[in-house]
Amino acid sequence: MSDLRKHGLAENGGQLPGGDRLSNLTPMGVKAAARELGRPVGEMGDPARGAGRTGASHPMAVNEAVLALLRPKPDLSQLGSEPADVRAAAQTAVDAPSGLGTIASYATEVALPATGTWSDPGKGGAQADIVITAPEDGVPLLFVEIDNCFESAQVLAAKIDKYMRFCQRKVKDVDGRERPMWRTRWWVPDGRRGDQPHPPLLIVFNRIGPRNPGTVIPRLAELTRWHWQGEAYDGFHMYDGKPPIVVTGMKMLKEHGPAGAIFRRFGRPHNQTLLEAIGNPYKEQLRRAAGQQKAEREAHRPLGAGCGTRFTDERWKAIEPAGWDAPRETHPHLCDDCKQRAITVEPQAEHGRSEPDQAVPEQKAGGWLSRFRA
């Protein structure tokens, strides 16, 4: 860190009550980090200025949430000289379910402008504590808000209002077409017709303040119902323009990570994994139905009588009944390979059987032919 300070890339960020010192990246350091990560400077977030003076409770909680969601795996090969309990803890971390994305998937303190521009946001917008972009893990875009349990449900509801103002803001894109502003920066798959997605919001409650999440969360859900409540249909909901709002606790998040059933989406009665909580159950029903149909089809897939090999889709289709004028399948019980071998062998066998018939043995006089003539 001293080298970073010497080159003007880092600066003193204050001191924690326990004596630990903090360091911030300078604007030059942010640019250098952006180059190393291959990301635009605008996606790097802002330094947590004043963190040391305020005890750094919020910036430190943001860091804890990033690690809990990322769940980096230690390199066991580097721990050979460590005590047995350290190696055991590292092995447990390696065996645990993976987290979301890589370190490059995370940006902190990202402005979400309801007015102004990305680089010069105006009033009325939000600032995401964390933005996650991990489409390879099923999370194309996720905003994360950390609450240290100092704020009331009404204050948190006002923050969600700001998120919604940003999500609903439209601007002209480079092609001249009007799009939601967030789509000009982040990629998200298109939704079904009549159910266009909004970025989900995860609120992580870190119990260091005086407020009880058990009473804040129900009140917050009620105050923001018009933002998240979908329209019920036969067996599913439509969420056109309704962002998923999901809550969890920091302690549970650090223990179980995103794969744990510790996330409660407003409007749903049970905890789920993060992917289940931010997803549409209608899509999950379709996925499960498709999986069941595939399993049933596989159970009826024919097996080759000679080798027991499962038929390919093409072979299965070839043996299915066709029209009256279609040629009949000659070996319906054999797979492709066995059929080809049978076709190759059969002419040779027929040829071998026909050779004795080609020469008619000469009959002696007085034999059966002469008797017949008589």
Q: Which of residues 29 and 47 earns the better pLDDT score?
A: 29
Query: What are the C-alpha distances in Å from 198 to residues 1, 5, 16, 56, 163?
Result: 40, 41, 38, 31, 11
| pLDDT at 215 > cutoff 60 | yes
In this prediction, residue 28 carries a pLDDT of: 65
Tokens 């390696």 found at: 94
Tokens 């499962």 found at: 310
What is the length of the chain?
374
Question: What's the pLDDT tens digit per position in 7-20?
Answer: 565 666 555 555 55
Query: What are the C-alpha distances in Å from 249 to residues 202, 213, 374?
Result: 10, 9, 112
| pLDDT at 115 > cutoff 90 | yes
Query: What are the C-alpha distances in Å from 11 to residues 5, 21, 22?
Result: 6, 11, 9
Mean pLDDT (whole number) for 193-207: 83
In this prediction, residue 281 carries a pLDDT of: 56
Mean pLDDT (whole number) for 87-112: 91
| pLDDT at 177 > cutoff 50 | yes
Beta pairing partners, 192: 195
Q: Residue 216 in contact with residue 153, Cβ under 8 Å? A: yes
Residue 347 pLDDT level (bands cut at 50, 70, 90): low
Mean pLDDT (whole number) for 110-138: 94
SS3 content of the chain, % helix, strand, coil (to 5): 40, 20, 40
Q: Residue 240 in contact with residue 225, Cβ under 8 Å? A: no
| pLDDT at 49 > cutoff 50 | no
| pLDDT at 39 > cutoff 80 | no
Percent of the chain with pLDDT over 70: 67
Q: pTM of the prediction?
A: 0.64
Residue 321 pLDDT level (bands cut at 50, 70, 90): low
In this prediction, residue 310 carries a pLDDT of: 83
**pLDDT, averaged across the chain:** 79
Q: How far apart are CA 110 and CA 290, in angstroms?
A: 39
The DSSP code sequence of 262-300 is -BEETT-SS-B-HHHHHS-HHHHHHHHHHHHHHHHHHHT
Q: Residue 149 in contact with residue 211, Cβ under 8 Å? A: yes
| pLDDT at 25 > cutoff 50 | yes
| pLDDT at 68 > cutoff 80 | yes
In this prediction, residue 18 carries a pLDDT of: 54
Q: How far apart are CA 327 and CA 203, in angstroms?
A: 65
Residue 166 contacts by C-beta under 8 Å, 6 or more apart in sequence? 112, 113, 114, 125, 126, 181, 182
In this prediction, residue 186 carries a pLDDT of: 95
| pLDDT at 243 > cutoff 70 | yes
Least confident of 80-84, 99-103, 143-147, 268-272: 80-84
| pLDDT at 27 > cutoff 80 | no
Helix (H) or strand (E) holding 155: helix 153-168
| pLDDT at 369 > cutoff 50 | no
In this prediction, residue 255 carries a pLDDT of: 94
Domains of the chain, by residue range, sit at 1-55, 56-286, 301-351
Contacts 24+ apart (CB under 8 A), 243-246: 243/163, 243/164, 243/167, 243/198, 243/199, 243/200, 243/201, 244/198, 244/200, 244/201, 244/277, 244/278, 245/160, 245/200, 245/201, 245/203, 245/221, 246/200, 246/201, 246/202, 246/203, 246/274, 246/277, 246/278
Q: Which of residues 347 and 249 earns the better pLDDT score?
A: 249
Residue 52 pLDDT level (bands cut at 50, 70, 90): very low
Q: Residue 243 in contact with residue 202, Cβ under 8 Å? A: no
Mean pLDDT (whole number) for 88-117: 92
Q: How far apart are CA 243 and CA 226, in angstroms?
A: 10
- φ, ψ of residue 297 in degrees (nearest 5): -65, -40
Structural tokens at position 169: 């803001």
